[in-house]
Structure 1
Amino acid sequence: MLAVKPHTALPLTVVSLVTVLLAPTPAHAIGEGGTFGDAEGNELSASATSSRIKITQVSGSSDGQGSLSSADPNWEPPPCWYEPVLTPAQLRNFAENDGNGDVSLRQAWFGEGLWTDHYRDEKDATNYFGSPSEVRGYKDYNLGEDGYFWRGVAPDLTGLDTSLCNRLMFWEDAGEIPDVPEAPTPEILAEYAYNKVKVPETEIELRPEARSTVNLPTWVWLDEGTFKDVTVRAELPNTGLWAQTTAKPAALHLEPGTDDAETYPASGDCEINEDGSIGTPYGKGDADRTPPCGIRYLRATAGDPYRLTASITWQVSWEGTGGTGGELPDGTFETTQDMTVQEIQSINR
């Protein structure tokens, strides 16, 4: 068996923060942040590496273990975006009881000064950072207003430039999406969900299993119903934005692990049928027949076995708020298995 595996927000930059904000930021510069309570009294993380996007499994196996790798090496998910994070009451509570959390991406908090000056006492950022700025402050944390303070988030800091989301935490009225670059969109949610798609660890049938004979075909197949579409839904609370990302199995690709082999079909791509099956099951008397999906090794292994690689291609699409939708790069999921190939021994008398 082979396991296959939207009201305009504040101006863009605080001048005095330029040297801090423009360079890509390593994970340790973000910090752990603090905590605050939501309307239901739940404790929420204030770390800027923690997105509020909610992911729900819509279809497919809930026990999927494999994450998709993009077949397009130039594609990567968005490095950062803005999200609503705090109500006025939550901001006051957080500032007065903690005050040291890195609640906004790429924005270092140096104690209570920024909270009391900028978010409580209506002072612009110049009063805190000591250089000219157009970033105006807020009065008493905007208590009595209906809306949210938004911050930049970056769930994955690995090698991605998060300087695109360098605004100080800013206010937006309820029901509005900031009209700023890197504001959340259905497509951003869909791209975020791409990395949340988990595909099943599927067992491919081989005959003969793990041991083949020179010039005799090894059959590869999968019973019907094994491969099914996987759909996850991403929703960003307090925005009305959602997207569903669907991965549809398209083909199984075989790499024998040696140039001394042939694949069936010659491309090595075995189509996945509408019923979720691949190829045709091996039957009695099929040893000399050509399989619709399989491999024929032309040379025996000598010492180390061949490494047979099987990869599943998944076609990825999405749909979202307001009738939006489109395609995302194909995803792949692969695994390898040792294959020992033997010669047929005969005795002449």
Structure 2
Amino acid sequence: MFTLGACPTAAHAFGEDNDHTSPGPSGGASGNTLNAGATATSVTVEQVAGGKSGTSGKGLAPVDPNWKPPACWYEPVATSKQVKAATDQLKKTPNENLVPVTPSLSWGQQLMVDTFEKDKSPSDGIKSYKNFNLGKDGKFWRGVVNPDMEDDPEAYNCQEILFWQDAGVLPKIANAPTPKVLASYAYDKIKVPDTKVELKPEATSKVNLPTWVWLDKGTFEDVKVRAELPGTGLWAETTAKPVALHLEPGTGDATTFPASGDCKINDDGSIGTPYTKGSSKQDPPCGIAYLRATDGTPFQMKASLTWEISWEGSGGTGGDLPNGTFDGTQAIDVEEVQSVNR
């Protein structure tokens, strides 16, 4: 008789990313990635430029609602010696500490021995190995579920049984890791600064007189995140560049400048134009005119910054990903006055 079991998914490992904790000892290959849970990935993610101060800890929202990062991929998880050690442990404790061979399936003693030691395939389409491929240069690979997408129906599409890849050779199968996979995965790890704009007047505006809105150049800089899959030579850097600001007054009784509420980035990296004395009655290139006063409850002006996303990766690869947005709200009080001197 042989034993099957569901692969545990409670333990997490996430390389050098602090979003997830590392797994404790598990099974025969105590503590290594072979016996880690389905979401244990070796991919490392680091924000290497921009957005390091004043970040909210939140990521970007893709403009395209249908876009999403990869739900799963394959990566190296164990050496020949580690697979042998896990199998040897099963011989000592049959039917315990099953070895995960896919994100959702674990094998017991007989299947591990027959498949990885005795070169007896358990069924058509499953590759078998003699003596765990000991002495060969390479690693066994397995599917990994994106830790942030465990509930996605596509998260368990990477169901190839634990398989061997020679060193320096990437698998040629669906959901194999690529620089674009890493770039897309890094998309969700981008942390941008809170979107807080400069205002004049700052907190209290006047009915029918424009509130000027702007962002000084250098306030927002490009943000770059690097993702790597160790042992494969694969890497990608995903860059977010601010390109536009959209204003929503927080009430229908207001006029935006421009009428669309979309304020573009200037050539010097700034947005809008800072208010200067004597400009109170001019239409700002970026701003809002409120048409009625608040009654003790401030309007919640929302400023949404659009970030253009591009990436480059190993092997001279690169391209674009859907733009992302990040917004913030600022309270605006509006007073009714007869005349104002600024």
Identify the TM-score tier after normalising by the shorter chain. 0.7 to 0.9
Matched, 1:108 2:105: yes
Write the letter of the residue equivalent to 1:100: N
**Would the alpha carbon gap of residues 261 and 329 (structure 1) be closer, same or farther in structure 2, given more than 3 Å must change?**
same
Q: 1:32 aligns with which of 3, 11, 27?
A: 11
Write the letter of the residue equivalent to 1:117: D
Q: 1:209 aligns with which of 199, 202, 227?
A: 202
Contact persistence 1:47–1:102 (CA under 8 A): no
Q: CA deviation at 1:336?
A: 1.5
Q: CA deviation at 1:228?
A: 1.0
Greater CA drift, 107-116 or 282-291: 107-116
Q: Give deviations 1:172-226, integer Å, cap 9, x for gaps.
A: 1111111111111111111011111111224311122232221011111122211
**Would the alpha carbon gap of residues 114 and 266 (structure 1) be closer, same or farther in structure 2, given more than 3 Å must change?**
same
Q: CA deviation at 1:310?
A: 0.6
Matched, 1:245 2:235: no
Separation in 1, partners of 2:76, 2:103: 16
Equivalent residues in 2 for 1:283-294 (5 A)? Answer: 283-294=276-287
Q: CA deviation at 1:330?
A: 0.2
Identity %: 52
Q: 2:211 aligns with which of 210, 218, 234?
A: 218
Could you tell me which residue of structure 1 aligns to residue 128 of structure 2? 137
Q: Give deviations 1:114-166, integer Å, cap 9, x for gaps.
A: 333322333322xxxxxx43313222322111111111111221334223211
Matched, 1:57 2:36: no
Could you tell me which residue of structure 2 aligns to residue 327 of structure 1? 320
Q: Secondary structure of 2:116's partner?
A: helix
Q: Secondary structure of 1:158's partner?
A: coil
Give the TM-score normalised by the residue count of structure 2.
Answer: 0.82
Q: CA deviation at 1:103?
A: 4.0
Matched, 1:236 2:215: no
Separation in 2, partners of 1:319, 1:193: 12
**Would the alpha carbon gap of residues 276 and 160 (structure 1) be closer, same or farther in structure 2, given more than 3 Å must change?**
farther
Q: CA deviation at 1:298?
A: 0.9
Separation in 2, partners of 1:292, 1:85: 55
Separation in 2, partners of 1:279, 1:101: 61
Q: Secondary structure of 1:90's partner?
A: helix
Separation in 2, partners of 1:312, 1:140: 57
Write the letter of the residue equivalent to 2:77: V
Could you tell me which residue of structure 2 aligns to residue 66 of structure 1? 58
Greater CA drift, 98-107 or 78-87: 98-107
Q: CA deviation at 1:101?
A: 6.0
Matched, 1:122 2:119: yes
Q: 1:148 aligns with which of 111, 118, 139?
A: 139
Runs (5+) with no aligned partner, structure 1: 1-15, 22-27, 126-131
Write the letter of the residue equivalent to 1:162: A
Contact persistence 1:30–1:105 (CA under 8 A): no
Greater CA drift, 254-263 or 159-168: 159-168
Equivalenced residue count is 314
Q: CA deviation at 1:57?
A: 2.8
Could you tell me which residue of structure 2 aligns to residue 166 of structure 1? 159
Q: CA deviation at 1:112?
A: 3.6
Contact persistence 1:105–1:154 (CA under 8 A): no
Write the letter of the residue equivalent to 2:184: E
Q: Secondary structure of 2:111's partner?
A: helix
Separation in 1, partners of 2:142, 2:197: 46
Could you tell me which residue of structure 2 aligns to residue 79 of structure 1? 71
Give the TM-score normalised by the residue count of structure 1.
Answer: 0.81
CA RMSD of aligned residues (A): 2.9
Contact persistence 1:56–1:232 (CA under 8 A): yes
Write the letter of the residue equivalent to 1:135: I
Greater CA drift, 55-64 or 292-301: 55-64
Write the letter of the residue equivalent to 1:227: F
Write the letter of the residue equivalent to 1:70: P
Matched, 1:265 2:254: no
Q: 1:187 aligns with which of 163, 174, 180?
A: 180
Q: Tell me which of the two structures has the higher relative contact order, counting C-alpha pairs closer than 8 angstroms and 6 or more residues apart.
A: 1
Separation in 2, partners of 1:96, 1:133: 25
Q: CA deviation at 1:284?
A: 2.5
Could you tell me which residue of structure 2 aligns to residue 7 of structure 1? none
Separation in 2, partners of 1:303, 1:205: 22
Separation in 1, partners of 2:273, 2:281: 14
Q: CA deviation at 1:341?
A: 2.0
Could you tell me which residue of structure 2 aligns to residue 93 of structure 1? 85
Separation in 1, partners of 2:128, 2:226: 36
Q: CA deviation at 1:35?
A: 5.7
Could you tell me which residue of structure 1 aligns to residue 20 of structure 2? none
Runs (5+) with no aligned partner, structure 2: 13-22, 91-95
